[in-house]
Amino acid sequence: MIGIIGGSGIYDIEGLTDIKWKAISSPFGTPSDALLYGKLNGQQLVFLPRHGRGHKLSPGEINYRANIDALKRAGVTDILSVSAVGSLKESLKPGTFVIVDQYIDRTVQRERSFFGKGCVAHVSMAYPTCRRLSHLIHEVSRQAGIETVPGGTYLAMEGPQFSTHAESEMYRSWNCDVIGMTNIPEAKLAREAEMCYASIAMVTDYDCWHPEHDQVTVQQIIRILTENASKAQKLVKEVVLPVDSDSSASSCSCRFALENAIITSPENRDPDKIRQLDAVAGRVLKKG
Ligand SMILES: CSC[C@H]1O[C@H](OP(=O)(O)O)[C@H](O)[C@@H]1O
Ligand SMILES: Nc1ncnc2[nH]cnc12
């Protein structure tokens, strides 16, 4: 099942039928909101507003572990993240949609793993988004006439303040493409939970490096988001069916990320931690 995490400006899904909000409890704490269940094009999906309805949570206040755990408990296998980002390249103009394929993590105060304290695991983050899902989204959007840029490096900053000019220039010198505050630790946790994760980043501004746009404002971001909301909603509508019917999904490597990742020997694992990991790592922990 597909799970959509909506970022700034995306607090519901247009055209969703048979809708029901349902709160899911998680041993990792409180998710950003209840999950919205519904059908789009006849296809069941789940939606979670990342900042909560009404945008009540700052990027650093979001319980990313509870969000991913709740989606996993709801039966989600494929996560489609939709986010607002600043552009670090002249060519990525406001309004552009980038399908992110790499991250640089500059966040500092977030829980970024389900593991540790009695069950240690190390998953690969070499390719941090699902290449199968990202490719599918790019292909489907191309066929639907929605332009997306395949691939881009997302600089994940702590926020909530926007970057200084010196930071923005440094990220540009690192060849980053876009900047945002939320995809990390989301992508890391989705990988640990063996879920496929793709990220559609909607460029809303030029951050503060651009000589003609020397600062970012929320007002400017919301204006661009509003202008592009229908394009984002159309993209979501187009991808739901192909994602749900992709026959190669069950053998996708993301679904086996924990296969050789847990290093704590079975006799030394903490039973409370193992119980907490029942949804995230149940597939491998059941094997002993
Ligand atoms: C409203 S501007 C800054 C805010 O927007 C982005 O959020 P999201 O990724 O959830 O769309 C950015 O990361 C900041 O949290
Ligand atoms: N310039 C920017 N920096 C960080 N997060 C953002 N989200 C949208 N624009 C942003």
Flag whether pLDDT at 37 surpasses 80.
yes
Q: Say if CB 104 and CB 183 are below 8 A apart.
A: no
Q: For residues 286 and 253, which has the higher predicted lDDT (pLDDT)?
A: 253
pLDDT for the residue 140: 95
Q: Rounded to an integer, what distance in angstroms lies between the CA atom of residue 197 and that of residue 187?
A: 6
Q: Rounded to an integer, what distance in angstroms lies between the CA atom of residue 30 and that of residue 67?
A: 8
Closest of 167, 170, 202, 220 to residue 81, by C-alpha: 202
Flag whether pLDDT at 39 surpasses 90.
yes
Ligand 2 pocket test, pick from 106, 207, 226, 228 with the greatest ligand atom count within 8 Å of Cβ, gives 207
- Is 207 annotated as a binding-site member? yes
- Is 84 annotated as a binding-site member? yes
162 lines ligand 2 (CB under 6 A): yes
Flag whether pLDDT at 249 surpasses 80.
yes
In the numeric block, the tokens 């909530």 are attached to 160
> What are the φ/ψ torsions at residue 117 (nearest 5 degrees)?
50, 55
Domains of the chain: 82-285 (3.40.50.1580)
Residue of 205, 214, 270, 272 marked active site: 205
pLDDT digits (tens, 9 = 90+) for 132-158: 999 999 999 999 999 999 999 999 999
**H helix intervals, the chain:** 64-73, 131-143, 165-173, 183-192, 218-244, 271-276, 278-285
205 given a catalytic annotation: yes
pLDDT digits (tens, 9 = 90+) for 199-212: 999 999 999 999 99
ipTM for the assembly: 0.99
Ligand 2 pocket test, pick from 50, 81, 221, 226 with the greatest ligand atom count within 8 Å of Cβ, gives 221
Q: What is the pTM of this model?
A: 0.97
The torsion of the CA quartet 149, 151, 152, 154, rounded to 10 degrees, works out to 110
pLDDT for the residue 288: 60
- Is 270 annotated as a binding-site member? no
pLDDT for the residue 97: 97
pLDDT digits (tens, 9 = 90+) for 54-108: 999 999 999 999 999 999 999 999 999 999 999 999 999 999 999 999 999 999 9
